[in-house]
Amino acid sequence: MTTILVGIKRVIDYSVRVRVKPDGSGVVTDGVKMSINPFDEIALEEALRIKERNLASEIIAVSIGPADAQQQLRTALAMGADRAVLVQADGAVPPLSAAKAFLKLVQRHQPLLVILGKQAIDDDNCQTGQMLAALWDRPQATFASKIELEGARARVTREVDAGLETIDMDLPGVITTDLRLNEPRYVKLPDIMKAKKKPLDVVTLAELGVEVPAHGLRTLRFEAPAARSRGVMVHDAAELVAALKQRGVL
Amino acid sequence: MNRILVIAEQLAGKLNVSTAKCVSCASTIPDAEIDVAVLAANAAEAPAQAAALAPVKRVLVVERAENGEALAALLAPQIAALARNGYTHVLGPSTTFGKDLMPRVAALLDVGQVSDLMAVESAHRFRRPVYASNAVVTVEAPADRIVVATVRTASFQPAAGGGAAAIERARLDVPLPGYTRFVGREGGNADRPDLQTAPRVVSGGRALGSADNFQLIHRLAAALGAAVGASRAAVDAGYAPNDLQVGQTGKIIAPELYIALGISGAIQHLTGIKDARTIVAINKDGEAPIFEIADIGLVGDLFQIVPELERLIRAPA
Ligand SMILES: Cc1cc2nc3c(=O)[nH]c(=O)nc-3n(C[C@H](O)[C@H](O)[C@H](O)COP(=O)(O)OP(=O)(O)OC[C@H]3O[C@@H](n4cnc5c(N)ncnc54)[C@H](O)[C@@H]3O)c2cc1C
Ligand SMILES: Nc1ncnc2c1ncn2[C@@H]1O[C@H](COP(=O)(O)O)[C@@H](O)[C@H]1O
């Protein structure tokens, strides 16, 4: 059995304009659309394509979070994951704890690959994959835009500030996805029905033996960012040049 | 005293400006003593450049053949070993180099990481953006543990020069894994001004319609001495290479002047430009969200306006 583990984080949908609660305790989530983190859809899509090429036999979708994350796991099953695991945790799970939970599942399922998103678009941390690779003492390839598997190795093209970088890594290992790796497929209605019968196991973070340390990083308050206000409108290129000169930027 | 270790980012033997920005961030931590670590195969000019940054006390040079390319799996154990020598903070830039590397260091040290640190409130209290900069959080790291953070480079000016820090060689006996190999790198255009540091940036979006039309952006940028940027839609469509993408998942920039041409202003794009001094938007749709944050807006067809603009800019005053 060749297994791929995929991270599926439940986050506020990317199209929602997120607002800070007036008391600064968090952001407004009531009645707000929740979705799979976009980078995780890409991770799952890549795993499905690897399986379709017969290079893997089983895809396990993993979410760490509230009971409601089962919705996102069902969507992942409908997309084509074979089974799902919800690591139930109430309250925020920071990347280091998430990485420790993934490590436990890695030990249990011995995957060839763990594919995570490059970042979760809620906290924008960009940490979990790298932390998992460190704890597991295995290679990492972050920001992947192309993955080629050859036996027990992967050749990964990464999107870096200077352009594209290619690295070669032994497997097992961790890969995190960038936007241009693939375009995730749409879920079809019959697949949603089929997904209801696929296994979805629930364990708690504590049952896995992972805790969120009480003495870790704490978020004290949320604030709205400094606002930029609407400026002036000009009517043609000449007025634009004049306005730029007036502001001293030209 | 707070002992800060800044991890240098290098490009072809030279110090990337992101390092001077990290040093500048480090200098806002109270009672800071700042060291810079340069890990390289042959540390060409980088150590001297780091030593010249005014707030720096010492530069630690770790030369090792395996450090020729910045592979996180190889650098992280060396940095964790350095960090254990009594440092209170380890900082790296929030560039792809630092984002790849620093969480791996944090995990080896068994601490969480503060990503995209934008302001220091005290030695253990920091501000950082979340939700594509729709919110800013204040976070507190435990006072009895080492702090690992990436620094949001757009929030800091480079530290001043004129310093003369001591340069020391550090010897580390850390076993390194052989499971990752560098293969190659492509892209990046050294003749163009660098997007992350250029004072002026001209960006194009989906409206350009083709890579050929995107030359319009390059020509206006050349006239202004500006760097070129792009929206995700323009990159996905192949009009511009990936390293030009500006936004939540591309580059976060803070130029003096940002000109957005045929870009609608999705929140993920705006995240990348909020710190620009002056934002100019040209879009044929007067309702486009980009106008909500533009300092100067112009509603119209960019294919008519941009050539005219280029002519006016090139014309002698
Ligand atoms: C997880 C995630 C991360 C993302 N990260 C990024 C990111 O880092 N950066 C980024 O940019 N996007 C990012 N996006 C994508 C973002 O949501 C938008 O889809 C994207 O920014 C749109 O690009 P655009 O403005 O070029 O295209 P569009 O939204 O299609 O806008 C094109 C604009 O051009 C105008 N136009 C058309 N023709 C003309 C003309 N002749 N003259 C003048 N104006 C014209 C139109 O009125 C329109 O406003 C991300 C999305 C997700 C889900
Ligand atoms: N709670 C979680 N549940 C499932 N996957 C997660 C979780 N947290 C992080 N991940 C994975 O790690 C990636 C990076 O997240 P982050 O480090 O939080 O930006 C995400 O795209 C997911 O693939």
Decide whether any atom of ligand 1 lies within 6 Å of the B250 Cβ: yes
Give the Cα separation of B1 and B87 in Å (integer).
Answer: 10
**Going from the N-terminus, what domains does chain B have, and what CATH number goes with each?**
2-169 (3.40.50.620), 200-314 (3.40.50.1220)
One DSSP character per residue, A178-215 reads -GGG--PPPPPHHHHHHHTTS-EEEEEHHHHT----TT
In a domain, A145, yes or no: yes
Q: Let me know if B163 is exposed, middle or buried by CB neighbors in 10 A (0-12, 13-18, 19+).
A: middle
Question: Under 8 Å CB-to-CB from B34, ≥6 apart: which residues?
Answer: B4, B6, B23, B26, B27, B55, B56, B57
* Local structure of B161: helix, strand or coil: coil
Decide whether any atom of ligand 1 lies within 6 Å of the B284 Cβ: yes
* Local structure of A250: helix, strand or coil: coil
Looking at residue B249, the DSSP 8-state letter turns out to be T
Domain housing A216: 3-221
Give the Cα separation of B310 and B76 in Å (integer).
Answer: 47
Give the Cα separation of B204 and B244 in Å (integer).
Answer: 10
Distances (CA, A) of A34 to A30, A120, B133, B225, B248: 10, 13, 18, 43, 19
Q: What is the CATH number of the domain that holds A78?
A: 3.40.50.620
Q: How confident is the model at residue B317 (pLDDT cuts 50, 70, 90)?
A: low
**Axis-axis angle for helices B211-224, B302-314 (nearest 10):** 30
Per-residue model confidence as pLDDT tens digits over A100-121:
999 999 999 999 999 999 999 9
- High-pLDDT (> 90) share of chain A, %: 93
In this predicted structure, the answer to whether residue B194 has a pLDDT above a threshold of 90 is: no
Average pLDDT, chain B: 96
In a domain, A131, yes or no: yes
The pLDDT of residue A204 is 97
Atom of ligand 1 nearest to the CA of B206: 26
Q: Which residues in chain A are contacts of B297 at CB distance < 8 A?
A: 230-234
The pLDDT of residue A229 is 86
In this predicted structure, the answer to whether residue A215 has a pLDDT above a threshold of 90 is: no
DSSP E strand stretches across A24-162:
34-36, 58-65, 83-88, 113-117, 140-150, 153-160
Angle at the Cα of B160 from the Cα atoms of B159 and B164, rounded to 5 degrees: 105
In a domain, A30, yes or no: yes
What mean pLDDT is predicted for residues A72-95? 97
Interface ipTM: 0.96
Cross-chain Cβ contact A222/B236 below 8 Å: no
Closest ligand, as measured to the CA of B303: 1
Provide the domain count of chain A.
1
Q: Does A13 touch chain B (CB under 8 A)?
A: no
One DSSP character per residue, B54-65 reads TTEEEEEEEE-G
In this complex, the residue of B136, B185, B312 whose CB is nearest that of residue A223 is: B136
Q: Which residue of B has its CA nearest to A39?
A: B249
Decide whether any atom of ligand 2 lies within 6 Å of the A125 Cβ: yes
Atom of ligand 2 nearest to the CA of A128: 17
Query: pTM (2 decimals)?
Result: 0.97
